[in-house]
Chains A and B, each alone.
Chain A
Amino acid sequence: MKEYDIVIVGGGPGGSMAAKVAAEKGLKTIFFERGRKPGEKNSSGCGLGPRMWRSWPNMMKTLTEDKCPSLRAGRFARNYLVDKKGEVSAMILARPTESVAYEPAKSFITMNCYRSEFDPWIADLATNAGAELKCSLLIKGLIKENGTVKGVIDEKGEKYMAPIVIGADGAVSMVAKQSGLRDKWYHDHITLVPQYDFYAPREKIDLIMHEEALAIWWMAGGIPSAYQVFFGDGFHVGLGNWMHSWERNPLYYLNYVVNLKHFQRTIKMLDAKPREVQAHLLPWMPYPEKTYANGVMLIGDAAGFPCPLEAEGIFPAMESAEIAVEVAAEAIAEGDYSENKLKEYERRWQEESSIGTEFEAGPELWSVWKALPFNAKNMDWFIPMVSEALTGIFDWSEPHKVRIRQIIAHVKKYLPQAMPTLMSELVPLFTKALEDDMGKLMDPAIMPTLINSLPKLMSLMPDKKKKRRRRK
């Protein structure tokens, strides 16, 4: 039996960050990873958001290409709109827009790297700070006394005691289960994400994709939308859906995307070859459930923290790690490990972290994603409607005036299907997002200008058709 101040199950971004912060606080810390090294069990092929550089500037500076050769900045994202027949009907290039104020967010959307390099990098920071790491070791159970978690037991029967145990063991969390916080996820709170990794020569990616190292394949025709993320010498393509939404094998849908004519062309140009098949669960929910009990706190995926719109999960895992360790240190100083004390963890992530802010609009964000990219019925009008509206004007077969009428008539055709969904999804989202600023929107300084411009707008609307002729 060994004794520690804090025991952390899991050596992913959440567990390693927790171990780093705990060791820096001088706590006797151990963390466990079932893989031979951190990262080899994890597939997310991760896009790191710029807020990581904002929150931890000194730490992120040390994530360099020599430690992480797979690094590649995703500056721009290609958005392919794919119709029911599998044709790309439009392609929109997204880049950080004018309103993005924060540097480095201006220069990249995500920084991409493989977990097999990222996870060891952050675990090293923890061990350098003095935390002990045991790899190739599965933690099998929690040790409980009178309903309080007191430590963990490994697969060989060895016990590790600590007043605080942190469950950083990901989506299939033994700690959540054995502490009674969760048995299984609700089927629409967890997604399965299968993905392929493709090898492609670095020079080809540099040349052909250049700064467009991200892509989303927005799919109609009953296929969930897919992502494509480029790394140093390869790329991932994957897609996800909630547990009960798979009507066929998940790889049927993924193969459909990979076999698209347009996708196959990219493969040929890049000289790409399939290198690895992966699948992982990813929590994706409107609001997390309880995250603490006597002697135990859950962080990261174990707690259900990936963001409710796009399931970005690395940042919230690391942010929740910091908060949990802060509370753990206070609990240790006070000698109080009860859930009454650890409730403070939940209060802080809800009220004082970006996780809490994100989940403020959680149900609305989650619902939008569910209703669109992963919803076959809706994508079948969304794709043609958006393609028509954005790119329909590029047609030289008719006078433009006629063309505009055709486009409007065509978009109108989809409105009866589109409006109910757009109203029921977007109105609640905008109302929620703007609830703090309603006053500003109704700003008396802006209102008169708006109101004054209305009659002018009205005068532009002709009441009858006027023929336009050369001015004499």
Chain B
Amino acid sequence: MNINDFDLKSISTHIEGTEDFISIDNDKCNLCNRCLVICIMNLWKKREGKIVLAEDYKQKCVECAACYQVCEPGAINFQYPAGGTGVVFEQG
């Protein structure tokens, strides 16, 4: 079994909420690419020279806040999702 062979989403559990909890302010972004590199779920992409967050991030984000923490100019806003929603770690 090779670890690259399985789909990350199949080994994480989510209770999807309705409200957004991560957003980006592209005016503040300096395109350093750090968020692209650090997100283990690959939820940040560069499209037409702009950083964008995956549309289905609420089904995949593990709420580590690494993207928020690594963004020096403060372009990424992060709050935890509503209580009782989001990622569930059953064997954390």
Contacts and interface: CB of A to CB of B under 8 A. Distances in A.
Interface of A: 34-36, 39-45, 70, 114-116, 135-138, 140, 154-155, 171-172, 184-185, 187, 190, 192, 194, 196-197, 231, 234, 236, 243-244, 246-251, 255, 258-259, 264, 267, 273-281
A39 B90 CA distance: 8
Interface in B1-50: 1-4, 6, 8, 11-13, 15, 34, 37-40, 42
Q: Which of B39, B42, B82, B83 has the most CB of A within 10 A?
A: B83
B54 interface: no
B83 A137 contact: yes
A280 B92 CA distance: 10
A246 B37 contact: yes
B6 A281 contact: no
B84 A36 contact: yes
B92 A192 contact: no
A34 B11 contact: no
A280 B62 CA distance: 8
B88 A40 contact: yes
Contacts of A258: 3
Given A115-B92, A243-B69, A277-B40, 19 more contacts: A35-B88, A36-B15, A36-B84, A40-B92, A116-B92, A138-B82, A154-B83, A172-B68, A172-B78, A172-B80, A190-B69, A231-B91, A246-B38, A274-B11, A275-B91, A276-B11, A278-B62, A279-B40, A279-B66
12 contacts: A35-B83, A40-B88, A41-B92, A43-B92, A136-B84, A184-B69, A194-B64, A234-B91, A249-B38, A249-B40, A273-B1, A276-B92
Nearest to B39: A249
A116 B13 CA distance: 14
A264 B3 CA distance: 9
Given A185-B69, A259-B3, A277-B11, A250 B40 contact: yes
- The majority secondary structure among interface residues of chain B is loop
Interface residues of B, number: 39
Given A187-B70, A281-B66, A274 B40 contact: no
Contacts of B88: 35-36, 40-41
A147 to B, nearest CB: 24
A83 B57 CA distance: 37
Contacts of A136: 83-84
Contacts of B84: 34-36, 135-137
B87 interface: yes
A247 B42 CA distance: 14
A135 B4 CA distance: 36
Contacts of B2: 259
Given A136-B84, A172-B65, A281-B69, A249 B3 contact: no
Contact of B37 (A185, A194, A234, A248): A248
